[in-house]
Structure 1
Amino acid sequence: MSQSKLTELTWREVRRAGEQGIALVPIGSQEQHAGHLPMGTDTLLVETAVDRALEILDRETSAPQVVRLPALPFGHSPHHLFAAAVSLSAATLGAVLDDILDSLVTSGYRRVMVVNGHGGNDEIMRLAVKRFALRARVTVAACSYWTLTDGDGAGGEEAGRPEVTPGHAGWFETSLMLAAHPALVRTPVPARTPVEPPPLFDNPPHPGLTVERHGEWQRVGGSTDDASGADADRGGRLLEDRARGLARAIRAFDTASRSPR
């Protein structure tokens, strides 16, 4: 088996794996997900996507060596504190990622991939890896799992509804949770009541604008779109599509960054 969990390795095994392997760091959040999904939805989904991607790779010939770290369960979620969240400031999350990357390099790793499960982490994560690569001899990659699709025929229909992907506590995340952790979804999932004026965070008045208006999340009840039509079967296909996409991304990163033996 070419994939290992850092938690289960000895320090000598960690050192040996770092010589040619990739350290994979999932990051998530603990935050409100409306009334029907658990606080840890983002962490649970990124863990599922990562583990399924590694299972796919492990079935391949000459799979890349990957050491999976425990998921960082906290992220940048100040916009969800109106209900409940455990949030790190942007500066703190950046510093935590910097310390994790620095620890991995000190432990012998020269290739690290960060896989994100929460929208509020995305920009901070990307800045952290860019900044770190400027000062350390390391090759670092970053992605959010929902952006990666298989791109192989099924990706058309299974890429999901782009207008609500990933959204928050809406159709996409609820479908994935119904497939991955159905016991944690509170059912029946209520329909989302439209509000006027419509929120601007996911529907800006002009392409290219990022717009935030005070109090939007409270007005929409903590979700971006209607989750009442979420479907476990569709969620399973969407999740498998993302896992295959992530597996391809890990393979591509391995090929592009591998040092000659």
Structure 2
Amino acid sequence: MPQIATGSAVLRGLTGLHLWHAGNSNCSQRVRLVLAEKQLSWTGHIVDLYRFEHATPAYRAVHPKGLVPALIHNGRTIIESNDIIAYLDTVFPTPSLRPTSTDAEALLALAAASQLSLRTLSHEFMFKQTRRYDAKQLESFTAGHGDSEFARFLTKFSLHGFTEAELLACFDTIAAGLTQLETRLEQADWLGGETMSLVDICWLPNLHRLELLAFPLDGRPALRRWLAAMQARPSYRVALADYENELPPVTAAECQRRDDFFTAALLRQSA
């Protein structure tokens, strides 16, 4: 579990649960879902990604790589969303969210493997107006941010963009993952066992983002049923829906381009 040491006496002296998070970050959403499901009290610290707050010395003192989320519990710092939610389920075991199905680990790994494709489609069709930076902004971001892989991603997105082939590959990766979920949910109500678990929580923000992207989910009735059940839980409103006012604006022309891309991608798969 990636617990890290902090050099800040102030951070080490914090008591209770403190979460540094961003409203639209699906990794942050996972942690907020667990906190809501367990009805835990916590102090939130919003990190404004659009203003580069994750690339400031103040936030780098919390998370050296400048990524969200980061959790501090009684002075102990835990990073990486999947490790944070596993930590919370261990330290606060009631109600238990531990998965029990034999394929739970594979489905957790699949959710993680889908992140780059989801990030790419999100930037292409949701964040183009707010996350495309000029050379000066990229230089400032790269100098202050601690994750070189993400800096390279933003540089490519901002200066060069993604090719049609790259976007189609991302579409195919996500579609293949959804097919695996559909197969699992044809046999069970939940992804991780007999009850809702961390596996379901890991996947809900991904499906939430895909809905915002208008990603085609037709032909997957079991997945639709599962998604409706997850969205009916109070935690969905508290952890995801209540943050929708932070969504970036998307023009009508961008929506049409997105819809045309998904239509063409579907036709390509069925050809």
Determine which structure has the larger helix proportion and give its number.
Answer: 2
**Do the structures match in fold with TM over 0.5?**
no
Calculate the TM-score normalised by the size of structure 1: 0.31
Calculate the TM-score normalised by the size of structure 2: 0.31
